[in-house]
Amino acid sequence: MKVLALDYGSKRIGLAIGDTSLNIASPLGVFENREGVVEKIRNLISEYRVSLLIVGLPLTPRGQKGQRAKEVEEFVKKLRESLPEEIELLMWDERYTTKEAYWLLQDLPPTKRKKLKDSLSAYIILKEYLESL
């Protein structure tokens, strides 16, 4: 099954694509979070024949929902309303994925790190999901 993972941010949304039968994941890029982003995500779902959409949920270190998690839930609500019913949507605990992404990118110049961290964070979310299967 094809899976698309999103790392939601107020400015950018990181993307990663994977396959549960092959147990692989790859960073896919970044969308600017502005008008039309839901349509772009729908187009990706169609293009890659995605069956499952995973969205990172930024819980607090204690596992509670803060303001950022509520923003993500609002975004997911908009997504759900615009997606075909057969697309499964799952929210995934993404605590520390950005820190892990920065750690993996630590040898790159700061400008490259900033550019890649969102997509790499989505990749980490997806990889964690695949490892849980």
Query: Cα separation of 106 and 71, whole Å?
Result: 28
- What's this model's pTM, rounded to 2 decimal places? 0.90
Tokens of 106: 């630590």
Tokens of 78: 């908009």
Residue 1's closest CA among 87, 94, 84, 76? 87
Per-residue pLDDT of the chain (133 residues; tens, 9 = 90+): 999 999 999 999 999 999 999 999 999 999 999 999 999 999 999 999 999 999 999 998 898 999 999 999 999 999 999 999 999 999 999 987 777 766 676 777 777 767 778 898 999 999 999 999 9
User: ∠ CA 17-94-123 to the nearest 5 degrees?
Assistant: 25
CB-based burial label for 12 (10 Å; 0-12, 13-18, 19+): buried
H or E segment and range at residue 91: strand 88-93
